[in-house]
Amino acid sequence: MPLQIQPITSSADFSRFVEIHLESFASGGGITSLLTPSPLPDDYIPKMIDKHIKSWREEPDVTYLKIIDTDLDGKMIAGAKWRVNTKERTEQEIQSMLPVPGKDEEGRQGVIDFMHFLHRVRKQYMGTKPFCFLHILVTDPQHHRRGAGAMALRWGFNKADEVQLPCFLESSPMGKPLYERMGFKVQEVVTWDLTKYGLEGEDTSTVMLREPVLRVPVQ
């Protein structure tokens, strides 16, 4: 099979991970297109890479995944970041998944509003409870509809079902059909008036949950 899913085990993979992340957000449009400043500051990509490497090295609940194409010499075509928390956590322990606007977001109201949304729904639906959280799922736009996203989801489902935990995510309109097909249910939809941020039209962000499946061992 040309596509394979593997845990990221080397910091060298994060430059490609960030490249896909940026390409995915840029091609998707809508509210998430505001997350990347334009033009990009010279230090933006190195900072993103360092941020992911820090999370990968220091947060034991985090697993980064890469989906590679063996027909393209193992090129990464998609990536994911799952958080699997099997125990109750403290308020301090959940801070790494709760974005707070900082100096880099000053004057970027769309980013500030989106971060406030993420902070609210993650605290409301997951909080300190045990949970599986699909933090990031991105695919190279040239490799959409090849099943890479579904592979990353199944990896998380196997973990979630093993420990009987729900899965949480926030979805763009582009990702929502896949998530619904894979068993996620809509909990909340937030509509964004993009004209407030210098764009056109509206966009939506959908909060989704998947309940664990009880797998009966084969006798």
Q: Which of 74, 97, 80, 61 is nearest to 153 (CA)?
A: 80
Instruction: Measure the CA–CA gap between 211 and 129, rounded to whole angstroms.
Output: 14
Give domain status of residue 38, yes or no: yes
Asked whether residue 187 is assigned to any structural domain, the reply reads yes
219 belongs to a structural domain: no
pTM of the model: 0.92
- The full DSSP string for 74-96 is TEEEEEEEEEEE-S---TTTTGG
Q: Evaluate whether residue 156 is within a structural domain.
A: yes
Task: Name the β-bridge partners of 202.
Answer: 193
H or E element in which residue 162 lies: helix 148-163
Residue 140, in any domain of the structure: yes
Percent of the chain's residues with pLDDT above 70: 97
Provide the residue-wise pLDDT of the chain in tens; the chain has 219 residues. Answer: 599 999 999 999 999 999 999 988 877 779 988 988 888 889 999 999 999 999 999 999 999 999 999 999 999 999 999 999 999 999 999 998 999 998 888 889 999 999 999 999 999 999 999 999 999 999 999 998 899 999 999 999 999 999 999 999 999 999 999 999 999 999 999 999 999 999 999 999 999 999 999 876 655
Number of domains in the chain: 1
Q: Please tell me the distance from the alpha carbon of residue 140 to that of residue 153, in angstroms, as a whole number.
A: 16
Q: 33: domain range?
A: 3-210
Our measurement of the distance from residue 24's CA atom to the centroid of its chain's CA atoms, rounded to an integer in Å, reads: 11
Answer whether residue 47 is part of any domain. Answer: yes
218 within a domain of the structure (yes/no): no
State the CATH number of the domain containing residue 81.
Answer: 3.40.630.30
Q: Is 216 within the bounds of a domain?
A: no
